[in-house]
Amino acid sequence: HHLLAPGRRPLRKCIEEVIRFAWEEHLFLMADEVYQDNVYAEGSKFHSFKKVLFEMGPKYSRSLELASFHSISKGFVGECGFRGGYVEVVNMDPAVQQQLTKLVSVRLCPPVTGQILLDAVVNQPQPGDPSYEQFTQEKAAVLGALAKKARLTEEIFNQAPGIRCNPVQGAMYAFPRIQLPPRAVQEAQAQGQAPDMFFCLRLLEETGICVVPGSGFGQKEGTFHFRMTILPHQEKLQILLQKLSQFHAKFTQEYS
């Protein structure tokens, strides 16, 4: 989740700090970079861990063990059924790399369609290729629609009393913060549930909308949020966001 800069520190700074920490503590760094094309916020851009590592100089780039991952089932391709991806390793201990090669060799490979698609993702059409124009149009349309839905999600939630949503800078998820009345918190605790889980289950039962409670991700004590995807078509997403905002208002009223 290196698109999110805690305390508004520059995104690149955060990556440098993670690299420095991993180097000092002799940690193996694994970078999940499947959302590298999905960056929507003005002024934000993707920084690869490998690029930053090498720009930090040989002190770090010669010794830090790094693996970076990419997948065809995420990003702008989003072909979830095809299942394919890759991992690139840098500075891995040769004995460990031997074991990794053995592990990868004895496993089944992804279906041929997944392999073909992965090849298309890593070797995208170049200017002058017959499919270049269509590819760039389709890629721009997919990413443009996601950026539009990211803004829509932020706008609708921020109009709802008791819901706050930061700009969705990238990827496919929003993490809106919700205020829950003390009575709802007590009721949840009486049922042995986390308050945001209690809210999410009620939401699912009454509206059919399924979101993930924030307690599953770790959150600041006394605050509540949930995670939802911005993937539905814009018309459906608009209805979903309005239903969710209305449910929150009703829920708040019920437990006030």
What is the mean predicted confidence (pLDDT) over 70-99? Answer: 90
Residues 77/124, Cβ–Cβ less than 8 Å: no
At residue 3, does pLDDT exceed 70?
no
Strand 163-164 versus strand 173-174 pairing type? unpaired
Percentage of the chain surpassing pLDDT 70?
96
Q: What is the band of 109 on the pLDDT scale with cuts at 50, 70, 90?
A: confident
At residue 4, does pLDDT exceed 70?
no
Q: What is the band of 5 on the pLDDT scale with cuts at 50, 70, 90?
A: very low
Name 250's Cβ contacts closer than 8 Å, sequence gap at least 6: none
Most confident of the following: 75-79, 101-105, 108-112? 101-105
What is the mean predicted confidence (pLDDT) over 152-157? Answer: 96
The mean predicted confidence, pLDDT, of the chain is: 92
The Cα–Cα gap between 177 and 254 comes to 19
Taking the C-alpha atoms of 130, 131, 133 and 134 in order, what is their torsion angle to the nearest 10 degrees?
140
What is the mean predicted confidence (pLDDT) over 167-194? Answer: 95
- Mean pLDDT lowest among 40-44, 126-130, 164-168: 40-44
pLDDT value for 1: 40
pLDDT value for 9: 61
pLDDT value for 75: 83
Q: What is the band of 219 on the pLDDT scale with cuts at 50, 70, 90?
A: confident
Q: What is the band of 110 on the pLDDT scale with cuts at 50, 70, 90?
A: confident
With vertex at residue 1, the alpha carbon angle to CA 224 and CA 173, rounded to the nearest 5 degrees, is 55
- pTM for this entry: 0.82
pLDDT value for 2: 43
Q: What are the structural domains, with CATH classification, of the chain?
A: 6-122 (3.40.640.10), 133-254 (3.90.1150.10)
What is the mean predicted confidence (pLDDT) over 159-165? Answer: 96
Instruction: Name the residue among 101, 97, 93 with its Cα closest to residue 65.
Output: 93
The Cα–Cα gap between 67 and 27 comes to 12
For the chain, what is the largest distance between any 2 Cα atoms, rounded to a whole number of angstroms?
65
pLDDT in tens, 6-62: 445 678 999 999 999 999 999 999 999 999 989 888 888 899 999 999 999 999 999
Instruction: Name the residue among 35, 242, 37 with its Cα closest to residue 141.
Output: 37
Name 13's Cβ contacts closer than 8 Å, sequence gap at least 6: 5
Most confident of the following: 81-85, 181-185, 214-218? 181-185
**One-letter-per-residue 3-state SS of 117-142:** HHHHHHCCCCCCCCCHHHHHHHHHHH
The single-letter code of the amino acid at 147 is A
